Amino acid sequence: MSSTVELDPHPRTSESDLHTQTTLPGQLPELVKQSLPKHVAIIMDGNGRWAQTQGKPRVLGHKAGVKAVRRAVSTASQLGIESLTLFAFSSENWRRPDKEVSLLMELFFTVLQREIKLLHKNQVKLKIIGDISRFSARLQKQIAAAQEKTAGNTGLVLNVAANYGGRWDILQAAQKLAEKVETGEMTSSQFTEEALSAHLCMQNQSEVDLMIRTGGDCRISNFVLWQAAYAELVFTDTLWPDFDEQAFHEAIAIFASRQRRFGLTGSQIDEMRAL
């Protein structure tokens, strides 16, 4: 499949459009006309099953998954996607066997060490989102160093969700606002959607346009709940280690083929596309 996806870089906006935008995310005409998502989120599922089907230990599936991460980052960069968010370790994953969790933490540390130079070379800006306070001091130090090294990069923003949960993200943002209300820094009437959004993990990035889940399950598993409110969902049976450039392109093509309505009618969307 061709990797070329055309996108009008200068969408036009009418006065009637501006009225509608006040209650919808971002610039509605631009969102309606998008054929390429600005922000893609991926639930990378199936590493363990991939290994088990080959008679290998689950940890080898996670190592194979790292190669799929490299491919996804490369593809997203080539396509000009602004943000790529990968669900690496959820807050619920601590329930897995201790040995597997320990191996995952060590793999995370090793990957950060090995991959950061390549990410930096390709102008990728790395952000680890989630509650990293539960990680070892050694891993937290490595995370801080990796983020600092790429902080000034201007290419793809790569968000790696580690010890992350969508409910946690909303809760921690609400708690920050509640503290401001308690101290008189803001009033309860100023506790708005916009104010809460400004305290989420990815507050300075576009909302998620496309969410992909590999591995065959059809659920979002507490991932970027707020940011994916208007996302298109694509579920694939492909296990994460097998998710290659072609599979990514196919998901992009599905996104481009859908009509995003944001609560409007199909006729209204057609009128916007015609502007």
Catalytic residue among 93, 122, 153, 222: 93
- How many angstroms separate the Cα of 199 from the Cα of each of 88, 150, 227, 245? 22, 22, 12, 33
Q: Is 47 noted as a catalytic residue in this protein?
A: no
In terms of Cβ atoms closer than 10 Å to its own Cβ (0-12, 13-18, 19+), residue 146 is buried
Q: Which residues contact 183 (CB under 8 A, 6 or more apart)?
A: none
Q: How many Cβ atoms from other residues are within 10 Å of residue 93's Cβ?
A: 16
Q: How many Cβ atoms from other residues are within 10 Å of residue 242's Cβ?
A: 16
Q: Is the dihedral of CA 226, 47, 39, 141 positive or negative?
A: positive
Q: At what angle do helices 98-121 and 137-150 cross, to 10 degrees?
A: 20
Query: Rounded to an integer, what is the distance from CA 41 to the centroid of its chain?
Result: 3
Q: Is 222 noted as a catalytic residue in this protein?
A: no
Q: What is the CA radius of gyration of the chain?
A: 20
Structure-token pair, residue 251: 């998901």
Edge-first strand order for the sheet with 39-43 is 125-129, 157-164, 83-90, 39-43, 210-213, 232-235
Q: Does residue 107 sit in helix, strand or coil?
A: helix
CA distance 185 to 195: 13
In terms of Cβ atoms closer than 10 Å to its own Cβ (0-12, 13-18, 19+), residue 33 is middle
Catalytic residue among 45, 159, 169, 209: 45
Which residues are known catalytic residues? 45, 93
